[in-house]
Structure 1
Amino acid sequence: MSSMPPLPPFTLAGALAKVQAAEDAWNTCDPQRVASAYTEDSVWRNRDQFLTGRAEIVAFLRAKWARELDYALRKELWTFRGDRIAVHFQYESHDTAGQWWRSYGNELWQFDSEGLMSRREASINDVPIAESQRRIFGSRRR
């Protein structure tokens, strides 16, 4: 098992670093890179989908980014305590027909002692937007 600092229990600086690292990884749209931050048996709820383990996470992310094109995400720390972090996020993408979407959501994260995420609960709502309404462009770190 590899360690993924910062490790719980989280400080404010550690929680902020964990959130930024997640944002950076998700903005690569690289399923393997994103999945490496989760335990081998990580449990997810994403909208109405329930996943268990890295293989299911990778397959889910491949399908997600095949339909959510030009994906750009922002995450913000909501709160943290011990081995848990709550996050608010927004992302924008367009579908194959060219319709742009802004998706809003909240995530609850739980980590193991090595700093890998063992549980992720995500509630997400989508709003259609015009391309001219976009406000998230690429990664913060370019």
Structure 2
Amino acid sequence: MDTRPPLPPFTHETAVQKVRLAEDGWNTRDAARVSLAYTEDTVWRNRTDFPVGREAARAFLEQKWARELDYRLIKELWAFAGNRIAVRYAYESHDASGQWFRSFGNENWEFAPNGLMKRRFACINDLAIDESQRLFHWPLGRRPDDHPGLSELGL
């Protein structure tokens, strides 16, 4: 069985680490790689999409990142207990027409004993912004350690 440390039950330190690892993964925009962090039978709710299974999650992510261009994400721990973590997050991306968006959301995660995510429930709101209003300016990929997080940015 694959394992994906840190493993539940989470401490504050390991929950923060798990959140950052998830952020780093999603910022790769590599759907095949990111999907490996989820159980084979993972269950998601993402807006109006309800992917079930790792392959459905991978396909969902491929479609997401094909339309959400120059995607940059910041996640922040909200709460944790046992094998569950709640996060809040924001990401910036633009569509094919060049319209930028800042998308705000909350996620509830449940992990299997091996550290793979079994359930992911997301609620997301999109705000159209001008390019001049962007706050996430690092090169595509992992957010630099010295880049402010959500709280520091007032989000």
TM-score normalised by length of structure 1: 0.98
Which residues in structure 2 correspond to 1:41-80 (within 5 Å)? 41-80=41-80
Counterpart in 1 of 2:152?
A: none
SS at match of 2:135: coil
| Structure 1 unaligned spans of 5+ | none
For 2:136 and 2:126, the matched residues in 1 are separated by: 15
For 1:15 and 1:99, the matched residues in 2 are separated by: 34
SS at match of 1:52: coil
Which protein is richer in strand relative to its size? 1
Large movers: runs of 4+ above 6 Å: none
| Structure 2 unaligned spans of 5+ | 146-155
- TM-aligned CA deviation for residue 48 of structure 1: 1.1
Matched, 1:26 2:26: yes
For 1:78 and 1:92, the matched residues in 2 are separated by: 20
* 1:31-52 deviation per Cα after TM superposition (whole angstroms, max 9, x unaligned): 0111010000000000111110
* 1:63-116 deviation per Cα after TM superposition (whole angstroms, max 9, x unaligned): 100100000000000000000000000000000000000000000000000000
| Count of residue pairs the alignment pairs up | 142
For 1:140 and 1:68, the matched residues in 2 are separated by: 17
RMSD over aligned Cα atoms: 0.9
Counterpart in 2 of 1:35?
A: 35
- TM-aligned CA deviation for residue 137 of structure 1: 2.3
Match of residue 141, structure 1, among 140, 144, 153: 144
Identity %: 60
For 2:136 and 2:41, the matched residues in 1 are separated by: 32
SS at match of 1:104: strand
TM-score normalised by length of structure 2: 0.90
On the 8 A contact 1:24/1:141 being kept in 2, the answer is no
